[in-house]
Amino acid sequence: MKHSELLKLIHDNREFIDRVYKQNYIQNVPQELIDSTLFVKIHDRYKLNKNYLNFVDSVLQRIDYSIIFGDYEKEYKELVKNKKRYLDSGDEFYINRMINLVENLYIKFYNRDREIQILLLRLENDTSLEIDRLLEQASDTLEKIDELIHANEKIGEFFRKGLRGVHAEIDTLLQSISVSMLNFIENIDTYISELNQFIIQTKKRRILNKKIIKLSNMILDEQVNDLDEHLTLNYKSLYFTLPRSQKNKIQIFAQDEDISKIKKELIKYLSHVEIKKPIKKSIIKEQKHEKLEIVNIDKIIKELENQKSEDIFLYLLSHNEFSRYEKGELISEAFKVYLQIITDIRIVFGNSFNEYDIKVAKWQ
Amino acid sequence: MAVGLDEAFKVLSKGIIVSINSQKYLDVAKFLMIDENFDELFVLLKKIGFRLNGENGYFYIAKKEGMNDSELNSFLNNHKNILISIAILKQLFPYLDRGTILKQTDFIVSYKQKEDAQLREKFEYIFKTKDLKEVVEKFFDLLEKNYILEPKSSSSKDDYLVLNSIEYYTKIVQSVV
């Protein structure tokens, strides 16, 4: 098969391949894709070929924690062997072999550098794993990067000294990649330091989380002496809070003695004042019938049980229980009801969000 | 309108913790981040018995005088409720920190996945009920009113931003446990 034919095959089957890429395996695959070795049969199902996945993940910057960096021993041994043969025979054939090997090693260094950068970024932004698991992954990655130090330096040294002066063409190539190679080698130290820093921060986060949970459990168990003591002793530097009933304003209450002083003064002044009792004119208001605007959630749930909407929020927006609301109010009221409905155990959440940026939830 | 000392005082005197990552109080935060402004307000507040605190990306007022019983009671209870609320958040989202965007729907999804007796107990402590249907709105409301969360934008009803002030409470945890 020609390269252009392979590209066409992938293009023609792009939706199928994308589906398998997302769901990891499939039961049936068109014969032409099996023949192309893009798919490999394992047990009774087909998976995408690991070589294809490696390429795609690398281009799309999706690096799995299980990546194995490996060393450069095979290429190194080949280079040493070809150098010896060239020096012994003077045959130019070995020069091309060596140039290919140097280029392959350079690409390996380039990819490795990129993979480590992506892996660090992924670790730093991963919130899907439990903290303990994340720390495990970070320590494993650190170990893998650590192992690269020696392998990198060995190749760097060989490029700087072992291969220099063998042939002008190789020297030119080595010269042109020398700065990048040096960067790749030096970057390893930066990555190790970043990763160490990340591990320390994550461990601190784990300790803090445990402390927060512990303190909250102490509050629930009414073991609050230490907390009360800390808050009471340090109130001068702590956020001063008042209950909402006091209109959320900062104020100082008068002392009892001040109040009695004011009371005495007021009695003194007001005792001379004659106050006419106001004549009470009560107006009897006609009782009005108020219509309560309450959305009937039970009714909506009953309807959902039968109709099984694909997106509950959109369903609510168009429901007649909300017809009295204007657009702005409608979204806000529908969202409130949506939040209540999705607490039901029969709700299934999708991974997507609708046009209102609200998670798609449907009735099971 | 440009923020001056009066506006900054007006906001802080309402008992608001002003975080510098808050969109709502961004102008006040920017004003207080200027040392001269902070110092001037600090001196003024000191004269009337309050202390202006500015640390780790948030500002708030503390009272220098002792509190009476009802103030102290409210002060302690409020702190306990918020500390438990943060514990609930951390139990559901271990990586949650200042600047995190939290979705109410993710909160419900995560709660339903991890629901355990401890979480229910915490909700009951704050709201006197374990019913998720009743507490979610109240929970976000409580954290919003205490300046831990802020709605991300008016267009999305679901997204909340975790404000810097969360660190005020984690510092208390570090001091006590």
CB-CB: which of A218, A248, A331 is closest to B157? A331
Query: What is the C-alpha R_g of chain A?
Result: 37
Which amino acid makes up residue A192? I
Alpha carbons A329 and B162: distance in angstroms, whole number: 25
- Residues β-bridged to residue B101: B161
With an 8 Å Cβ cutoff, are B15 and A205 in contact? no
With an 8 Å Cβ cutoff, are B83 and A216 in contact? yes
User: Which residues, at least 6 apart from A234, have a Cβ–Cβ distance to it below 8 Å?
Assistant: B175
pLDDT at B176 over 70: yes
Residue A94 to residues A84, A172, A302, Cα–Cα distance (Å): 9, 16, 79
What does each of the 364 residues of chain A score in pLDDT, given as a tens digit?
A: 899 999 999 999 999 999 999 888 899 999 999 999 999 999 889 999 999 998 898 888 788 888 888 789 999 999 999 999 999 999 999 999 999 999 999 999 999 999 899 899 989 988 888 899 999 999 999 999 998 898 999 999 999 999 999 999 999 999 999 999 999 999 999 999 999 999 999 999 999 999 999 999 999 999 999 999 998 888 777 876 544 444 445 555 566 677 777 777 777 777 776 767 767 766 776 666 655 567 788 888 888 888 878 888 888 888 888 888 887 788 888 888 888 888 887 888 887 888 887 888 888 7
Which amino acid makes up residue A138? A
Would the ipTM clear 0.85, i.e. be above it? yes
Q: How far is A237 from chain B (nearest CA, A)?
A: 6
Give the side-chain half-sphere CA count within 13 A for A327: 2
User: Which residues, at least 6 apart from B45, have a Cβ–Cβ distance to it below 8 Å?
Assistant: B9, B51, B52, B61
With an 8 Å Cβ cutoff, are B50 and A250 in contact? yes
CB-CB: which of B50, B71, B118 is closest to A242? B71
DSSP A291-347: PP----HHHHHHHHHHH--S-HHHHHHTSGGGTTS-HHHHHHHHHHHHHHHTTSTTE
Burial class (CB in 10 A: 0-12, 13-18, 19+), A216: buried
Q: Between helices A93-125 and A131-157, what is the axis angle to 10°?
A: 160
Alpha carbons A357 and A230: distance in angstroms, whole number: 42
The interface residues of chain A toward chain B in range 197-256, judged by CB-CB distance below 8 A, are 205-206, 208-209, 211-220, 224, 226-228, 230-232, 234-244, 248-250, 252-253
- Residues β-bridged to residue A48: A39
Show the tokens assigned to A45.
């199902």
> Are A49 and A37 contacting, i.e. CB atoms less than 8 angstroms apart?
yes
User: Which residues, at least 6 apart from B100, have a Cβ–Cβ distance to it below 8 Å?
Assistant: B93, B161, B162
Nearest CA in chain A to B59: A239
Alpha carbons A119 and A104: distance in angstroms, whole number: 22
Residue A178, Cα to own-chain centre: how many angstroms? 36
> Are B118 and A217 contacting, i.e. CB atoms less than 8 angstroms apart?
yes
Total number of residues shown for chain B: 177
* Residue from A304, A308, A307 nearest A296 by CA: A304
Q: Which residue has the tokens 């309450």?
A: A294
Domains, chain B, in order of start with CATH, read 5-63 (1.10.10), 69-176 (1.10.10)
Confidence of residue B23 (pLDDT cuts 50, 70, 90): very high
The angle subtended at Cα A43 by Cα A38 and Cα A48, nearest 5°, is 20
CB-CB: which of A212, A239, A336 is closest to B90? A212
Nearest CA in chain B to A130: B94
The angle subtended at Cα B149 by Cα A243 and Cα B33, nearest 5°, is 90
> Are A278 and A318 contacting, i.e. CB atoms less than 8 angstroms apart?
no
Show the tokens assigned to A152.
């990198």
Q: Where are the domains of chain A?
A: 3-59, 73-218, 297-363
